[in-house]
């Protein structure tokens, strides 16, 4: 009675094809939600039977965004199976490639995939460019730094450019946004500041991609990592390459500190009420596989930049990969019980949509309704991602992470509980971006010093015929979006089974065999929608996870489908 | 894909472009382009903004702009006398609306596209071309996104360039992949949006030849755009991802000439795919001298020797990465010490994408049999033969190299 069923498909500004269905009550509050991936490629099946040394190149194509993370994890799963430890140069190069990905990914995510959920581009037209300078200074000041740009002429130029664009009548990519929605809260000047950064970031992100290409050959889809090490020998030997990397890092860091962080303080303050209310918090149980090896002492024995572990009901516990399992009760696959990835199966069983009404197909939510499987840890549903990394690091007492989190909360003058919200998820990403950028300077120096000391070793030899007879291994890491793992079983030199359990598998999953919700679904419950025909709040919370659905569909891949549609059907009650 | 296309790839002498077609040819083309640009100027622009203004706003000098135009002219394999026309065409790009859809993809080409540096992406998006629909970047979602697509298709009927990223499942997975609230399949979606396009640009190897999802055993029966759409001009820009320089090149060429660029038998523009990686590789001299990397990280690797013995497929791969490179020419795979995996060739996941020489290949065959299989085998047989031929040449070079060393 009195409920409305909202279908949002496609969810745009994500990677992959994603559909969200939500049910709202008479107060426009979301009381039920379903997350579905609508694309399948079958990559896990494609990997079977291949030479394990070739998996990384193909597995990387699971995703064009976390490109590189899949590459490294696939290679490392095989290295783990073979018992190969890579040389120091290779570890540092891999960290630098992955680090460049973090910077690129987080900045592109915040400005180009997420900002328009907080920023009303049309309001920027009413801004006073002179007053915008004050805004820029105010939030940079809060972040303890100077603004990236605080020049009224620059703000005016951006505004004029926007005005011309709007005058043409066709808004192109900005057409039909939810402009004017009452849940946009920034002032015109704040909007202009953010739009200016949006355009600057669009230009600047190419530099972070270049950083990846210096040691990775290209971006996206780098090509310099092999089982046993890396191939970019001439790039690490060349001081000019290292200097270029550092220069680009310097420039990008200036943007992170002078624009990205201040913008997060601005958004965090302006949307502080939502954060304090815990809007979008969801499951509140967090998982981190762990990532970025800081030492050369072999697999899963090194100190990590992001320590592994879980926070369940507020308490820390150790992570044990044996407790990871995937369930397919509500996913378009065959299977009757949760399976560990080593034994995981990918047998498609597409049962389609449920009912169709007035041209809209509705998910069969009682049955199977997504290409994403439901990962479960020790019979608990969890969230992964930057927020999980910050929470687990903090609760575990990691010094570095605690320092950055405390600094953020102090500068923003907000209590720790704001982190457990949609706003908090977005803030956690910015906090760790600053931390990443800072530590990457050390890594570049470490690499340069190691090479200068005469260590040019980039690869560890192994006897393929001997080690590939019967082996299994896993590659676990933190992608920008969260815990990303590949599990591989090798027999007679070929891949016998291959499964990936990745960030959006954890977060975007449908319900499980106990009918418990996945992270996206849980995070939407209780959110109030200002205008059901403009589901801004749904996009805001879903985007805060930085969905990457191509990965999630596992090696079955899903894409946030195109076309979308979002319709409200008042007659449908659930 | 028309199987004849595949067949011709392996049977015609060469798909290579002619870089010099004689003065009369270029004189004719020049006049044709000029006329085309005059026509375009008469058309009401979609964006009432001139590139001059944009460049001035961005602090790019006329000189820098012409430098870019000159490099682009060279990339399009036109004589330098065409530079002013290319510059003019760039200024007229505002007349070309683009709709970009994603199917069975990883968004890698969208990502690559936003790394474009000539022109820069904020110019492309805001002003230069009229990007009307692009899921990864657009503000609207759901119903509003769908409305935006319909609106753009209607408004620019018959005029828009359709960029397609990702493959299309037509096998048992035909109905598995859906878009939009109505649950439209990828195939239906592509056909609907393609119907009123002026031309289609299939971007990346998934959209051109099926790519990753079509790799054996091709669980969803994935194919490329040209297997689905047969009544429109199609330009294939394969590679994984496609090089953004080639995406911009195709648009520019279209603006400049009003025609799609000259294509090879696989519908790839010859300006980009007219020669092999190997022909222009920076490590080519080492190949000729018989100097090879024999193991990752060895002395050869430290001295940038040829990667052929590490499985480089540069000799069999048509693409311009050895010239254009990636990410504003910062690097490319062979630059970073890894062999080419042949990502712009059909079926490369099953034929090329391994890190050992052809002879040691543990190649995964396409499943199921049928004609597709025989074509694959056909191609494979020939390519293996080509691999052996090159191996013989490499071995001969190696002996020659050693000889000269000995003589020294």
Determine the average pLDDT of the residues in A293-322.
95
Peptide bond into A557 cis (omega under 30): no
The full DSSP string for B337-393 is T-----TTSTTHHHHT-SSS-GGG--PPPPSS-HHHHHHHHHHHHHHHHHHHHHHHH
Question: Exposed (0-12), middle (13-18) or buried (19+): which is A138, by Cβ within 10 Å?
Answer: middle
Chain A residues touching residue B138 (CB < 8 angstroms): 12-13, 173-175
Q: What local confidence, expressed as pLDDT, does residue B105 receive?
A: 93
pLDDT at B11: 40
Percent of chain A at pLDDT above 70?
96
**Structure confidence by residue, pLDDT tens digits, B11-38:** 444 444 566 778 888 888 888 888 877 8
Per the CB < 8 A criterion, the answer to whether B277 and B332 are in contact is no
- C-alpha to C-alpha distances, B184 to A9, A18, B180, nearest whole angstrom: 11, 14, 6
| DSSP structure class, residue B242 | P
Per-residue pLDDT tens over the stretch A383-409: 999 999 999 999 999 999 999 999 999
Contact between B179 and A65 using a beta-carbon 8 Å cutoff: no
Distances (CA, A) of A480 to A9, B132, B173: 24, 29, 30
DSSP code string of A225-260: EETTEE--HHHHH-HHHHHHHHHHHHHHHHHIIIII
Residue of A167, A172, A461 with shortest CB distance to B125 = A172
pTM: 0.89
Tokens of A317: 């516990």
Rg (CA), chain A: 23
Q: How far apart are CA A113 and CA A292, in angstroms?
A: 25
User: Which residues lie below 8 Å from residue A32, measured CB to CB, with a gap of 6+?
Assistant: A22, A23, A525, A574
Q: Write the CA distances from B199 to A561, B66, B95, B118, integer angstroms.
A: 22, 28, 14, 22
- pLDDT band for A378, please (50, 70, 90 cuts): very high
Which of A64, A109, A153 is the best residue to mutate to test the B interface, defined by the most B CB atoms within 10 Å of its own CB?
A64
Least confident of A153-157, A264-268, B67-71, B153-157: B67-71
DSSP secondary structure code for residue A370 in this structure: B
Q: What is the pLDDT of residues B192-229, one digit of tens each?
A: 999 999 899 999 999 999 999 999 999 999 999 999 99
Whole-number Å distance between alpha carbons of A194 and A122:
12
Q: How far, CA to CA in Å, does A564 sit from each of A70, B63, B140, B141?
A: 28, 44, 9, 6
Instruction: Judge whether A39 and A559 are in contact, CB under 8 Å.
Output: yes
Report DSSP state, residue A66.
Answer: S
Pick the closest to residue B302 from A215, A458, A452 (CA basis): A458
How far apart, in whole angstroms, are the C-alpha atoms of residue B384 and residue B381?
5
Q: How sure is the predictor about B389, in pLDDT bands with cuts at 50, 70 and 90? A: low
Which residues in chain B have Cβ-Cβ distances shorter than 8 Å to A219?
Answer: 111, 115, 326-327
Closest partner residue to B173 (CB to CB) among A40, A65, A177 is A40
Q: How far apart are CA A139 and CA A27, in angstroms?
A: 35
**Residue B386 or residue B349, greater confidence:** B349
Chain B residues close to A371, C-beta within 8 Å: 176
Give the pLDDT mean for B148-159: 92
Q: How confident is the model at residue B369 (pLDDT cuts 50, 70, 90)?
A: very low
**Lowest mean per-residue pLDDT among A128-132, A286-290, A406-410, B396-400:** B396-400
Residue in chain A lying closest to B325 (CA): A218
> Encoding tokens for residue B26?
């270029």
Sign, Cα dihedral of B296, B299, B304, B305? negative
Q: How far is A130 from chain B (nearest CA, A)?
A: 19
Mean model confidence pLDDT for chain A = 93
The pLDDT of residue A569 is 41
Q: What is the pLDDT of residue A432?
A: 97
Of A15, A40, A213, the CB nearest to B177: A40
- Burial of residue A448, with CB atoms counted within 10 A of its CB: 0-12 exposed, 13-18 middle, 19 or more buried: middle
Largest CA distance in chain A: 74
Three-class SS of residue A238? coil
What contacts 24+ positions apart, CB below 8 Å, involve A402-411? Answer: A404/A431, A404/A432, A404/A434, A404/A435, A405/A431, A407/A144, A411/A142, A411/A143, A411/A144, A411/A265
Q: pLDDT at residue B330 above 50?
A: yes
Burial of A258 (0-12, 13-18, 19+ CB in 10 A): buried
Q: How high is the pLDDT of residue B355?
A: 82
User: If pLDDT is split at 50, 70 and 90, which confidence band does B52 have?
Assistant: low
Sign of the alpha-carbon dihedral angle for A354, A358, A359, A360: negative
Residue B23: Cβ within 10 Å count: 9
Burial category of A465 from C-beta neighbours within 10 Å (exposed 0-12, middle 13-18, buried 19 and up): exposed
A chain contacts of residue B217, beta-carbon cutoff 8 Å: 45-46
What would the mean pLDDT of B336-365 be, rounded to a whole number?
Answer: 81
Q: Are B166 and A559 within 8 A, CB to CB?
A: yes
Position A124 confidence tier, pLDDT thresholds 50, 70, 90? very high
List of chain B residues whose C-beta atoms are within 8 Å of the C-beta of residue A222: 336
Query: A472 and A81 in contact (C-beta within 8 Å)?
Result: yes
Q: pLDDT band at B318, cuts 50/70/90? A: very high
Contact A58/B349, CB-based, under 8 Å? yes
Percent of chain A with pLDDT strictly greater than 90: 89
How large is the average pLDDT for residues A469-490? 96
Residues A563 and A174: their CA atoms lie apart, in Å, by 16
- C-alpha A418/C-alpha A278 separation (Å) is 7
| CB count in 10 Å sphere of residue B27 | 12
Whether the predicted pLDDT of B1 surpasses 80: no
Q: Environment class of residue B263 by beta-carbon count within 10 Å: exposed (0-12), middle (13-18) or buried (19+)?
A: middle
- CB contact burial A268-293 (16+ within 10 A = b; e otherwise): bbbbbebbebbbbbbbbbbbbbbbbb
Q: What is the pLDDT of residue B44?
A: 66
Q: How far away is chain B from the Cα of A409, in angstroms, using its nearest Cα?
A: 30
Q: How many CB atoms lie within 10 A of CB B289?
A: 17
Q: Are B105 and B206 in contact (CB under 8 A)?
A: yes
Question: Which of helix, strand or coil describes residue B3?
Answer: helix
Residues A342 and A489: beta-carbon distance below 8 Å: yes
Least confident of A304-308, B2-6, B101-105, B254-258: B2-6
Q: Looking at the DSSP assignment, which residues form a beta bridge with residue B178?
A: B185
Residues in chain B: 408
Confidence tier at A529 by pLDDT (50, 70, 90): very high
Write down the pLDDT at residue A314. Answer: 94
Are the CB atoms for A423 and A192 separated by under 8 Å? Answer: no
Q: What pLDDT shows up at residue B78?
A: 82
Choose from A112, A231, A354, A359 for mutation: most chain B CBs within 10 A.
A231
Angle at A37 between CA A31 and CA A38, to 5 degrees: 120
Beta strand pairing call for B199-203 and B234-237? parallel
Q: Across the interface, which of B105, B189, B333 has its CB nearest the CB of A218?
A: B333
Instruction: Give the number of beta-carbon pairs within 8 Å between A and B.
Output: 376
> Over the stretch A404-437, which tens digit does the pLDDT of each residue have?
999 999 998 889 999 999 999 999 999 999 999 9
Give the pLDDT band of residue B125 (cuts 50, 70, 90): low
**Contact assessment for residue A260 and residue A116, using Cβ atoms and an 8 Å cutoff:** no
Q: Among all residues of chain B, which has the CA nearest to that of A356?
A: B182
Answer yes or no: do A206 and B117 touch at CB < 8 A: yes
Tell me which chain B residue has its CA closest to the CA of residue A36.
Answer: B178
Count the helix, strand and coil residues of chain B and give each as a percent rounded to the nearest 5: 50, 10, 40
In chain A, residues with a C-beta closer than 8 Å to the C-beta of B117 are 206
Q: Can you tell me which residue has the tokens 């474009």?
A: B116
Q: Tell me whether residues B183 and A353 touch, CB distance under 8 A.
A: yes
Taking the C-alpha atoms of residue B190 and residue B194, their distance in angstroms, rounded to an integer, is 6
DSSP 3-state of A559: coil
**Site from A157, A184, A217 to mutate, B interface, most B CB atoms within 10 angstroms:** A217
pLDDT of residue B250: 86
Q: How sure is the predictor about B311, in pLDDT bands with cuts at 50, 70 and 90? A: very high
Q: What is the pLDDT of residue A68?
A: 85
Q: With beta carbons under 8 A apart, name residues in chain B contacting A13.
A: 135-139, 141
B211: alpha, beta or left? (left if phi > 0; alpha if psi -120 to 50) = left
pLDDT tens digits, A460-476: 999 999 999 999 999 99
Give B213→chain A minimum CA distance, Å.
Answer: 5
- The partner residue sitting opposite A210, judged by closest CB among B130, B151, B330, is B330
> Whose CA is closest to A143, among A399, A387, A409?
A409
| 8 Å CB contact of A217 and B332 | yes
What's the CA gap between B110 and A15, in Å, rounded? 9
pLDDT band at B406 (very low <50, low <70, confident <90, very high): very low
Which pair of structure tokens corresponds to residue A323? 């407790």
d(CA A481, CA A544): 10
* Token output for B184: 């439209």
Q: In this structure, is the dihedral angle defined by the CA atoms of residues A207, A208, A211 and A216, taken in order, positive or negative? A: negative
Distance (Å, rounded) from C-alpha A8 to C-alpha B135?
13
Distance between CA A565 and CA A7 in Å, rounded? 7
Evaluate the omega torsion of the peptide bond into residue B241 and state whether it is cis, within 30 degrees of 0: yes
Residues of A annotated as part of the active site: 15, 63, 66, 70, 481, 504, 548, 551
CB B166 within 8 A of CB A559: yes
Number of H helices and number of E strands within chain B?
17, 9
Q: Report pLDDT digits (tens) over A137-149.
A: 999 999 999 999 9
């Amino acid at each position: 009675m009195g409920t409305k069923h909202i279908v949002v498909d496609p969810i745009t500004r994500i990677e992959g094809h994603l559909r969200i269905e939500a049910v709202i009550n008479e107060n426009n509050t979301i009381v039920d939600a379903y997350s579905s991936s609508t694309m399948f490629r079958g990559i896990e099946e494609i990997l079977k039977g291949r030479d394990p040394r070739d998996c990384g190149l193909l597995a990387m194509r699971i995703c064009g965004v976390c490109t590189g993370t899949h590459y490294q994890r696939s290679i490392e799963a095989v290295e783990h199976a073979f018992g190969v430890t890579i040389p120091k140069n290779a570890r540092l190069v891999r960290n630098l490639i992955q680090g460049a990905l973090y910077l690129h990914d987080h900045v592109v995510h915040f400005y180009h995939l997420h900002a328009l959920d907080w920023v009303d581009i049309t309001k920027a037209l009413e801004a006073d460019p002179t007053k915008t300078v004050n805004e820029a200074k105010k939030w940079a000041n809060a972040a303890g730094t100077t603004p990236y740009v605080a020049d009224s002429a620059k703000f005016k130029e951006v505004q004029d450019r926007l005005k011309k664009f709007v005058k043409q009548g066709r808004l192109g990519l900005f057409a039909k946004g939810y402009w004017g929605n009452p849940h946009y809260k920034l002032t015109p000047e704040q909007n202009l500041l953010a739009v200016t950064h949006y355009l600057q970031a669009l230009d600047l992100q190419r530099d972070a991609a270049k950083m990846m290409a210096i040691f990775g050959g290209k971006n996206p889809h780098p090509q310099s990592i092999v089982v046993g090490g890396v191939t970019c020998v001439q790039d690490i030997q060349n001081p000019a390459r290292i200097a270029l990397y550092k220069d680009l890092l310097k420039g990008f860091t200036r943007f992170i500190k002078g624009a990205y962080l201040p913008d997060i303080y601005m958004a965090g303050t302006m949307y502080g009420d939502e954060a304090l209310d815990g809007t979008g918090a969801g499951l509140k149980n967090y998982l981190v596989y762990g990532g970025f090896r800081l030492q050369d002492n072999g697999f899963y024995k090194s100190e990590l930049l992001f320590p592994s572990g879980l926070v369940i009901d507020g308490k820390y516990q150790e992570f044990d990969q044996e407790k990871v399992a995937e369930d397919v009760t509500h996913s378009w696959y065959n299977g009757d019980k949760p399976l560990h990835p080593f034994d995981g199966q990918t047998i498609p069983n597409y049962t389609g949509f449920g009912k169709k009404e007035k041209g809209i197909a509705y998910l069969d939510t009682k049955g199977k309704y997504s290409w994403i499987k439901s990962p479960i840890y020790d019979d608990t549903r969890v969230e992964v991602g930057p927020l999980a990394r910050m929470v687990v690091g903090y609760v575990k007492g990691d010094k570095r992470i605690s320092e950055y989190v405390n600094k953020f909360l102090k500068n923003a003058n907000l209590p720790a509980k704001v982190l457990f919200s949609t706003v908090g998820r977005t803030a956690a990403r910015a906090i760790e971006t600053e931390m990443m950028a800072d530590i990457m300077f050390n890594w570049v120096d470490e690499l340069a010093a190691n090479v200068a000391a005469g260590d040019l070793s980039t690869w560890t030899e192994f006897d393929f015929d001997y080690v590939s007879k019967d082996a299994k291994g896993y590659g676990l890491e933190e992608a920008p979006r969260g815990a990303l793992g590949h599990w591989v079983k090798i027999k007679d030199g070929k891949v016998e089974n291959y499964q990936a359990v990745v960030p959006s598998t954890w977060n975007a999953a449908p319900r499980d065999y106990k009918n418990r919700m996945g992270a996206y679904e849980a995070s939407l419950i209780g959110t109030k929608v200002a205008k059901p025909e403009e589901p801004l709040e749904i996009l805001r919370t879903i985007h805060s996870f930085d969905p990457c659905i191509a990965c999630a569909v596992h090696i079955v891949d899903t894409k946030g489908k195109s076309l979308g549609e979002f319709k409200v059907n008042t007659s449908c009650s659930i | 894909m028309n199987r004849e296309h595949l067949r011709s790839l392996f049977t015609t002498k060469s798909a290579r472009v002619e870089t010099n077609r004689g003065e009369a040819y270029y004189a004719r083309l020049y006049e044709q382009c000029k006329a085309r640009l005059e026509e375009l100027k008469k058309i009401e622009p979609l964006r009432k903004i001139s590139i001059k203004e944009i460049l001035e706003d961005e602090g790019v000098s006329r000189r820098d702009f012409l430098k870019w135009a000159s490099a682009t002219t060279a990339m399009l394999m036109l004589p330098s006398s065409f530079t002013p026309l290319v510059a003019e065409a760039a200024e007229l790009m505002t007349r070309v609306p683009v709709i970009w859809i994603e199917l069975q993809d990883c968004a890698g080409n969208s990502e690559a596209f936003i790394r474009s540096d000539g022109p820069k992406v904020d110019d492309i998006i805001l002003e230069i071309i009229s990007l009307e629909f692009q899921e990864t970047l657009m503000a609207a979602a759901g119903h509003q996104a769908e409305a935006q697509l319909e609106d753009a298709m209607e408004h620019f009927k018959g005029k828009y360039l359709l960029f397609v990223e990702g493959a299309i499942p037509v096998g048992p997975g035909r109905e598995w992949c859906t878009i939009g609230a109505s649950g439209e399949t990828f195939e239906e979606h592509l056909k609907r949006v393609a119907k009123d396009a002026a031309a289609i640009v299939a971007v990346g190897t998934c959209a051109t030849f099926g790519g990753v999802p079509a790799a054996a055993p091709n669980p969803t029966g994935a194919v490329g755009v040209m297997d689905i759409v047969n009544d429109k001009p199609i330009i294939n820009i394969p590679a994984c991802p496609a090089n953004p320089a080639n995406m911009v090149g195709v648009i520019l060429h279209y603006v400049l000439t009003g025609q799609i660029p000259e294509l090879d038998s696989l519908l790839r523009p010859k300006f980009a795919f007219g020669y092999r990686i190997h022909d222009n590789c920076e490590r080519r001299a080492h190949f000729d001298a018989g100097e090879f990397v024999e193991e990752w990280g060895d002395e050869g690797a430290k001295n940038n020797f040829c990667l052929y013995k590490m499985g480089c497929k540069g000799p069999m791969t048509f693409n311009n990465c050895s010239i254009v490179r990636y990410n504003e020419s910062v690097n490319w795979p062979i630059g970073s010490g890894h062999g080419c995996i042949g990502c712009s060739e059909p079926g490369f996941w099953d034929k090329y994408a391994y890190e050992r020489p052809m002879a040691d290949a543990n190649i995964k065959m396409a499943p199921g049999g049928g004609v597709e299989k025989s074509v694959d085998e056909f191609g494979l047989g020939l390519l293996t033969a080509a691999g052996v031929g090159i191996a013989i040449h490499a071995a001969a070079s190696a002996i020659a190299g050693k000889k000269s060393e000995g003589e020294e």
